[in-house]
Structure 1
Amino acid sequence: MTETKTIQKTFWQKYSTLMISLVVLVIYGWALTGLTFSGIQESAGEVSSSIFHGLTHPDWAYVYDGSGEDLVSLILQTLAIAFLGTVISAVLSVPFAFWAARGKNEGKLHPRSTTGKFMLVLIRTFPEIVLAIMFIKAVGPGSFAGVLAVSIHSIGMLGKLFSEALENMDHGADEAIYAAGGTATDVLTLATIPTIMPEFLSYTLYRFEIAVRSASILGMVGAGGIGTPLLFAIQTRSWDRVGIILLGIIIMVTAIDWLSGMLRKKLV
């Protein structure tokens, strides 16, 4: 019996990579069978040339004209949507995190933690663009719908990250305070919050990076920000306008990523 197990184990060790590769190839082959290639349009070359020319010759006059609908104004609006949505979600995620986090003596299937994790999964199920469309129907188009979409979706992600931070935190300080006669409130204010706050802030900054990218797209469905003029420019084939908008988004996202990365290094 031992020899049979040894032979089976050796066979798997020898051919596991090959078998996994075959399975992946079969899945890719099955996926490719559902694709249909209808050929390249006759105008593809002309359109591609127009797009490339517009992207390399952006409309610099659109950068700022004082109308409130220029690139700088809408970039600032996009940042405001992302920032406000992230702040709201960071505050609302804290009770969800304590709800979903397991205590050190609780099992994996503890009812409180299980229901909390299920709620966070349910919130994350709805993409931001779907939430934006729903909120546009409820509150009308504009930045407010974008803020609601970003904040609600971010609760699901930040709540999950916050709860994992609570589960993995060092409880040494908690035990010391209890041993000294402290109460649960003392543990929360003197040990738990100071311990997890750097991680909470780091996760919030990371989520803000993602929210900036999301807010740039939500305008395409009418939720405010730079996405609305980008969609109009694409529809009207104003490729020079598309070029300057994309350049502005690239600069904005790069700057936010760099600044957020620097702040996270100082926190963690």
Structure 2
Amino acid sequence: MNQAIEAKLRQEPSKKMQYLLLTTIIVGSFIWSLSAIEFNAVDEGGWKIASKIIQGILTPDMDLLWNFTNQGVFYLLFETICIAFIGTIFGAILSIPVAFLMAPSIVPKPVYLVMRFLVIVIRTVPALVYGLMFVRVTGPGPFAGAMTMSLTSIGMVSKLYVDIIEDIDHGVLEAMDSMGCTTFEKIRFGIIPQLIANFASITIYRFDMNLRDATILGLVGAGGIGSPLIFAMNSYRWNQVGSILIGLIVLILIVEVVSNKLRSKLVNG
């Protein structure tokens, strides 16, 4: 019996050539990609500017960092959090009906195909483009940033919601149906308990992403801490850039820790 197994194993095709070919393709692609990079493009002036940037970041403007007015880092970080939070909540709420209309097991095929196409279109456009559009429509400020976060959240959140909806245990609904439960009771006690924890976990994860995107949106005038950051960079005030970056790093670390704990509690119970 053992000899038959060994003979069968010897008949198995060797994967060494496959691994070698795959490694060769990856290494070749990497070397070919390096040919498009100009390593000699950085001149002496560029290195001087880089050293000034590093020096400014390592010696931040403490007056700006501990300024509690509406021009200080704390207020700008709070505004950035508000933009990300409002945008995430609106986007999550709007994603619920969109997700149900994208679920093949709930709606007819033409409906879910149309909705999937619309969501793909939403996801294709970068957040900065939406930010520029809303700034033109509503004017610069936090409202444009919140609207942008809401729209971009729909593209990702609704897609993840659909996966959760498709994994619903239909046996629970069938059991409730046999008990004579109404449609509202099946939704309230059969569907929502299966969705709420995963929906909340996805929403928290999206808030974490929106917080970073809200910083970038400030570069186009959509509120938040991004606008002072780009102004400080354009005027070569690198010590102010250092103060803003320190505040961002601390904020993102705190949100990362809190969001991970909340998501683990929601998913694991």
Cα shift readout 1:144-166 (whole Å, capped 9, x = no counterpart): 11011111000110000111100
Q: Are the aligned partners of 1:64 and 1:73 in contact in 2 as well (CA < 8 Å)?
A: no
Q: How far is the alpha carbon of 1:9 from its aligned partner? A: 7.2
For 1:39 and 1:32, locate their aligned partners in 2 and report how far apart those are by CA, in whole Å.
Answer: 14
For 1:45 and 1:224, locate their aligned partners in 2 and report how far apart those are by CA, in whole Å.
Answer: 32
Counterpart of 1:125 in structure 2 is 124
Aligned to 1:44, which of 43, 46, 54? 46
The percent of aligned pairs where both chains have the same amino acid is: 36
Counterpart of 2:165 in structure 1 is 166
Q: Are the aligned partners of 2:102 and 2:116 in contact in 1 as well (CA < 8 Å)?
A: yes
The one-letter code sitting in structure 1 at the alignment partner of 2:93 is: V
Counterpart of 2:156 in structure 1 is 157
Structure 1 gaps, min length 5: 1-5
The one-letter code sitting in structure 2 at the alignment partner of 1:20 is: L
Counterpart of 1:113 in structure 2 is 112
Which aligned runs of 4 or more in structure 1 are off by greater than 6 angstroms? 6-9
Counterpart of 1:226 in structure 2 is 225
Partner SS for 1:102: coil
Counterpart of 2:86 in structure 1 is 84
Q: Once structures 1 and 2 are overlaid, which stretch shifts more, 149-158 or 17-26?
A: 17-26
Q: How far is the alpha carbon of 1:73 from its aligned partner? A: 0.6
In the superposition, the TM-score normalised over structure 2's length comes to 0.90
For 1:36 and 1:53, locate their aligned partners in 2 and report how far apart those are by CA, in whole Å.
Answer: 26
Partner SS for 1:172: helix
Pairs within 5 Å for 1:1-268: 10=13, 13-103=15-105, 110-268=109-267
For 2:11 and 2:196, locate their aligned partners in 1 and report how far apart those are by CA, in whole Å.
Answer: 50
In the superposition, the TM-score normalised over structure 1's length comes to 0.90
Q: How far is the alpha carbon of 1:113 from its aligned partner? A: 2.6
Q: How far is the alpha carbon of 1:260 from its aligned partner? A: 0.8
The one-letter code sitting in structure 2 at the alignment partner of 1:54 is: G
- 1:53–1:34 CA distance, 2 compared to 1 (3 A): closer
The one-letter code sitting in structure 1 at the alignment partner of 2:153 is: S
For 1:8 and 1:25, locate their aligned partners in 2 and report how far apart those are by CA, in whole Å.
Answer: 30
Q: How far is the alpha carbon of 1:7 from its aligned partner? A: 11
Q: Are the aligned partners of 2:67 and 2:74 in contact in 1 as well (CA < 8 Å)?
A: no
For 2:158 and 2:41, locate their aligned partners in 1 and report how far apart those are by CA, in whole Å.
Answer: 46
Partner SS for 1:122: helix
Partner SS for 2:13: helix
The one-letter code sitting in structure 1 at the alignment partner of 2:95 is: S
Structure 2 gaps, min length 5: 1-8
For 1:154 and 1:9, locate their aligned partners in 2 and report how far apart those are by CA, in whole Å.
Answer: 48
For 2:59 and 2:16, locate their aligned partners in 1 and report how far apart those are by CA, in whole Å.
Answer: 56
RMSD: 2.1
